[in-house]
Structure 1
């Protein structure tokens, strides 16, 4: 007879368990989509520099926060999870709007750069979606913790 090792209700997953638990499954997609935004914005001509600098800051902030949080998750309470996902789900939509507005204002003379900018906008909204879903599921976990 195999023994089942069910997790207690108030505990957080650790090890490979973070890849199978409901909100924690979004760590890898958040890392990938956030880093793609960062790379795409960094690979284009930065004009105007201020809003694109803000987009780069937000994507780097969210990427580093997600990466560090995967190391801290083993010892942190569920309420602190919201302190990582909530800023990402609030900052990324604004960065995506800035990026979309700048891309819309550009003259598509160089189609390669224009397509890279459009891809960055799409991935900014994909990252926003992942962070938003993760925030909702984390708040449900926090409520049940």
Structure 2
């Protein structure tokens, strides 16, 4: 394992060291909770279809991109190049902003559906909002530590 990557050094891990270094360990949680958001939004009834479309786009895009990055890191495709550190930081900052906007819009849509929807539909949307904010927090933490790694590279 690369101790430099675990302590915020300037290198990206390769192989299964991705699952043992911080912030790259967060890929697993982003993958799991991002998938939950995707499932919840796909099954939830949202009063504003445009909001549901944006939240679905964000959750699917980030799920696929996170999976691709994680697989590429495991395969060692970055080869130790510093441009991948920049890509990692840029992606996680973008994903953080996307998820924050999606979370706020989903919360707004959920608040607007308090009246006129069933208890189950309302609580399904509340679950989607909660998990969306959890994923937002994960991406923000990953972005902060990726920026620290980028600055030290």
Give TM-score, length-normalised by structure 1. 0.89
Match 1:142 to one of 130, 147, 150: 150
Aligned mates of 1:6, 1:78 — CA distance in 2: 15
Aligned to 1:68: 68
What is the deviation of 1:83? 2.5
Aligned mates of 2:111, 2:63 — CA distance in 1: 26
Aligned to 2:81: none
Residue 90 of structure 2 corresponds to residue 88 of structure 1 = no
Aligned mates of 1:20, 1:123 — CA distance in 2: 24
Residue 104 of structure 2 corresponds to residue 102 of structure 1 = no
Pairs aligned (count): 141
Which structure has the bigger radius of gyration?
Answer: 1
Aligned mates of 2:11, 2:103 — CA distance in 1: 35
Q: Show structure 1 runs of 4+ deviating over 3 A.
A: 5-11
User: What 5-or-longer segments of structure 1 have no aligned partner?
Assistant: none
What is the deviation of 1:114? 0.8
Aligned to 1:127: 135
Aligned to 2:59: 59
What is the deviation of 1:108? 5.8
Map residues 25-64 of structure 1 onto 2, 5 A cutoff.
25-64=25-64
Output one character per residue of 1:79-138: Cα deviation in whole Å (capped at 9) or x when no partner.
111122111101111101110001001026411111110000000100000000000011
Change (3 A) 1:126 1:10: closer
**Contact kept? 1:31, 1:67, Cα under 8 Å:** yes
Aligned mates of 1:40, 1:11 — CA distance in 2: 35
